[in-house]
Structure 1
Amino acid sequence: MKLSQHDIAKLKPYRFFDHTNPLVVKETFASVFNDERQALIELERVCEVMNAPDLKVAASIFMKRYAFLPVITLYSMTMLKKKLNPSIQNISFIDSFENDMWLPSIKFQSMSSIDMDTDYPHLREKLYRELFAQHIYGVMDTLSRVTKLSKLIMWENIGIYLFWLYESLLEENKDPMIHRLITEDFHFLLDDQNAKLFGPYNHNPLKRYFHEKRYFQQYDAHVRVRSTCCFSYRLDEKENRCKTCPQACKKLR
């Protein structure tokens, strides 16, 4: 079945590309990251577009943008009960900008979906394997070989957005039944028993980054401090660090 207009409206806040949008500046197919040479060409382009100082910084920020692919896919799974096709051949990126910041939209070439209510546990596991082990891990592996960027940084770049997604959904949905279903999917995301669904791992690569939030008076907010630095500050001439940056938070303690 195809996504309905209601489904598309729900996904658009997460940078989901609506096929009815005629504005396509530049489309890049995710499959370029199956090949190191093509990946390097694309990464050099992205480096120039985002004005990054080097390819390692560009790769890290790129993976933060890439994180919205799992955000869209898991939102659809949890809230719409629809399994999208996250295969690398089905995904492309559409250049878009906000305040001169490169924030690409995620395009699903085919917007067909499978009703997950038919066999939710089986389809959830299948979706995870397709999304992470067969797609995301491969992209990370290519970027790591091309730039020497640690996969630890890339996994945390993805994890922070998925934690934000599920914590936001839990905050917004107070209905006990919906709240329970969101909680179950959140636990599944962090379960060590699902390590193999993310790639050749014995431990869940996201679980290590799910720390308790700490209160910082300077921010008047509870913050989950990162374990790794994503290098976002190197895109800023003033070198302002994220409030979740381990180096920035260390100075505030």
Structure 2
Amino acid sequence: MSLQLSAEEKAVLLRDYRLTIEPAVDAAYSLLAQNLLDTEQALAYLQKIAPFFHSTSTLVTASLFAKRYSVLTMASAFYAMSRYDKGLYVGIENIWVEAEDHAKPWLPNIRLIDDSVSVPTQDREAWRDEVLQGIFVGNLAKVWQSLTKISKIPKAILWENTAIYVNWLYETKISEGASEQEKARIQEDYHYIVNQAPGSLFGERKNPLTNYCGPKVTIKESEQPIRLRKTCCFYYHTSDEANDFCISCPKIKRLG
């Protein structure tokens, strides 16, 4: 018999972590994720969603879509892994991107075709590697390769987009309401993902997140310490205001 999330566990993921169990009412902006690996279908999808980002460039659309795709792929999977010790299967052939055209901001969800889960047996570290490999090798690395081919966007930008959400999830979201024991496991998982996991789990020669997960710095533009980006995500291309950069953008000229 296959293992499942409990009703309570599923409710949390449905509410806060981009998981859905229902197809979108308006399926025009939904997509079987595997179609992102087909050049023609992926390009057509980027062109269809470009207006949500006020984008006239395939490169810009690819970057901004990748932000959303990375978080919807990782959020529920990381939460289930680190809070519940349960592994969702988010390989690209197992998920639908579900989105409505009226949502503002435009935030897709993930729907699993097979929603069974795995659990660690005696070796949690080996199990964790399998979960991470499903997230990255089985999904994100393939999509990033496809988006790079279609839009010519450097993969470094896509991986930094990914790293930003790994940091946010593990530093801010996943530990909310956690017990001390759970917090220790969350911190251990986070440290492993960004610092110790080998490149093979990401489909890369070396860990592509490590370079973007260093210490935060203090800048005059922010009350709280932040990490400065090393690559630009091109968000400023979608703004009506000149030089409307993200606060962490490397294009901002900073003093000192």
TM-score after normalising by structure 2: 0.88
Question: Is 1:64 matched with 2:67?
Answer: yes
Q: Please report how far the alpha carbon of residue 229 of structure 1 lies from its aligned counterpart in structure 2 after TM superposition.
A: 0.7
Give the whole-Å Cα distance in 2 for the aligned partners of 1:172 and 1:92. Answer: 27
Alignment-derived partner of residue 231 in structure 1 = 234
Identity of aligned pairs, percent? 29
1:73-122 Cα shifts (integer Å, max 9, x gaps)? 11110011111111111111111367732211121122211223564222
1:117–1:222 distance in 2 versus 1, CA, 3 Å: farther
Of 31-40 and 163-172, deviating more is 163-172
Counterpart contact for 1:188–1:194, Cα < 8 Å: no
Aligned mates of 2:42, 2:220 — CA distance in 1: 42
The answer on whether the counterparts of 1:8 and 1:18 sit within 8 Å (CA) in structure 2 is no
Contact 2:25 2:100 in 1 (8 A): no
Pick the aligned partner of 2:139 from 135, 138, 141. 135
Give the structure 1 partner of residue 246 of structure 2. Answer: 242
Distance in 2 (CA, whole Å) between partners of 1:137 and 1:237 is: 32
5 Å-filtered alignment, 1:117-132, equals 119-132=123-136
Instruction: Tell me the residue number matched to 2:151.
Output: 147
Please provide the CA RMSD for this pair. 2.2
- 1:216 equivalent among 219, 234, 247: 219
Label 1:4 to 1:173 Cα distance change in 2 as closer, same or farther (>3 A): closer
**Partner Cα separation in structure 1 for residue 193 and residue 151 of structure 2:** 28
Q: Which residue of 2 aligns with 1:95?
A: 99
AA at the equivalent of 1:30: A
Structure 1 residue aligned with 2:4? 2
Distance in 2 between the 1:91 and 1:161 partners?
Answer: 19
Aligned partner letter, 1:116: P
Matched residue count = 250
Normalized against structure 1, the TM-score is what?
Answer: 0.89
Offset at residue 130 of structure 1 (A):
1.7
Structure 2 stretches lacking a partner, 5+ long: none
Counterpart of 2:168, as a letter, is W
Matching residue's letter, 2:220: Q
